Amino acid sequence: MKLNELTIAGLRKLLDDREVKSREVLDAVYKRIDDIEGTVKSYITVTKDAAYRAAEDAEKAIRANKASPLTGIPVAIKDNMCTKGILTTCASKILDNFVPPYESTVTARLGGQKYLLTGKTNMDEFAMGSSTENSGFHTTRNPWNTECVPGGSSGGSAAAVAADECIAALGSDTGGSIRQPASFCGIVGLKPTYGRVSRYGLVAFASSLDQIGPLTKNVTDAAIMLNVIAGHDPLDSTSAPVEAPDFTRALGREIKGLRIGIPREYFVEGMDKDVEEAVHGAIKRLESLGAVPVEVSLPHTGYAVAAYYILATSEASSNLARYDGVKYGFRAAGKDLLEMYMNTRAQGFGAEVKRRIMLGTYALSAGYYDAYYKKAQQVRTLIKQDFDNAFSTVDVLVTPTAPSAAFRIGEKTTDPLQMYLSDIFTISINLAGVPAISIPCGFSKAGLPIGLQLIGKHFDEETVMKTAYAYEQSTEWHARRPGL
């Protein structure tokens, strides 16, 4: 196996035992990037020189026996997390020259461990999308089939991990943007509980839904990453003052007698046969490990996509008001201030971002507020109550991550509603604020990965992760790699 194909846990041992140097791991990663990045296009910015400089520092710490779990590990970061002195574009032309003067909390924490930033990954513009086709720069390709999308919006991070162009990555998830690309690319993606991870320095899309989380090659690595990024941060008023446990300690715990809820509304007539088979197989497997399946109902599931697209667009319309060409980012010419504003936003934002700003501004406007925004907030409460009710009888919920495997590039670009529906199984989780993971659970007939979603109670990532780990240990899916 090449060094770039290893996991965080695998490399940690080799690095600490002085069998390899972090510089050699970087050599393998950048060789891979040189070889395939022209095809896969995971990255917007590659930070090679800085990574080699950081590797020297990491080596010093390792030689002094002062290594932390991520010391000397190459990690890619989605391009909506601020990295001081490094271009951070959100895949938008309106930020194509934005170099943040400050560091996000998550990357600061990784930096504190002397991780190696490989680069900033591609995404749908401002994280709005499910395929990376809304990137203002280029579309990332799925390493399993380069005619297909990698999912989105964290498609660049997912593809980079799946293609071994980094060891692990961070993404963000507002309605599925970590889990759906993880599912499409055959890797592990975790959306923590809302408030578990600081959003300080994450460029806001929909602040009440956004969460940062890891994209990794296995569940152990997800736990290692979560250990580093989780925990209260006074710089984010929505970060919860909740103690973060050592998540790796949950791995290997018994799942005998664990009650796994199967929500009726997620298994409907007409669902994709390959997905249905893979997920049913996974439920059987969990049962054979001692878990007890229980049918449950989340009755308001059918309203989730509609409520999400009112709330997320409303928050986006407010959050994106700051891009006016004055303080930072792209600025277009104009004969006066108003015309400069208008030209900047007209030229700087892509079509999907404009569509959402218009939808959200409409939903928030006087006279419509009660009919749309307020109604959607009420529906959100009902959806959260659905989860509270289900979790009064079960420990974890099991569903597909996405209704299908990866779709073809261009297949859904002309039909926004079809694109929105690819998050039908992930959106409710963000509305409720609960944690969920996607792990590989099979392949479609066409050879594309399928993801299993495990959903937990608020701040109970441990049950989610121990279940995911037990399943992963008893299967081979996560070990398969794309033959690029």
Residues that bind ligand GLN (CB under 6 A): 127-130, 153, 173-177, 205, 312, 423
Q: Which is nearer to ligand GLN, 62 or 123 (CB)?
A: 123
**What is the rounded distance in angstroms from the CA atom of residue 254 to the CA atom of residue 248?**
14
What is the closest distance, in whole angstroms, from the C-beta atom of residue 74 to ligand GLN in the complex? 24
Q: Which is nearer to ligand GLN, 123 or 222 (CB)?
A: 123
Catalytic hit among 78, 114, 412, 457: 78
Catalytic hit among 92, 104, 177, 314: 177
What is the closest distance, in whole angstroms, from the C-beta atom of residue 155 to ligand GLN in the complex? 10
Q: Which is nearer to ligand GLN, 114 or 191 (CB)?
A: 191
| Residue 309 identity | Y
Residue 177 annotated among the catalytic residues of the structure: yes
Per the listing, tokens 């990332």 go with 140
Cα-flanking dihedrals φ and ψ of residue 463, to 5°? -65, -40
Q: Which is nearer to ligand GLN, 177 or 401 (CB)?
A: 177
SS3 262: strand
| DSSP H helical ranges for 166-292 | 179-185, 219-229, 273-288
Nearest to 81 by CA among 37, 43, 109, 120: 120
Could you tell me if 118 and 136 are in contact, meaning their C-beta atoms sit under 8 angstroms apart?
no
Tokens of 126: 């401002």
**What is the rounded distance in angstroms from the CA atom of residue 148 to the CA atom of residue 405?**
10
Nearest to 310 by CA among 240, 364, 234: 364
What is the closest distance, in whole angstroms, from the C-beta atom of residue 129 to ligand GLN in the complex? 5
What is the closest distance, in whole angstroms, from the C-beta atom of residue 171 to ligand GLN in the complex? 9
Query: 192 exposed, middle or buried (CB, 10 Å; 0-12, 13-18, 19+)?
Result: buried
Q: Which is nearer to ligand GLN, 291 or 363 (CB)?
A: 363
What is the closest distance, in whole angstroms, from the C-beta atom of residue 431 to ligand GLN in the complex? 12
**What is the rounded distance in angstroms from the CA atom of residue 95 to the CA atom of residue 43?**
16
Active centre residues (catalytic): 78, 153, 177
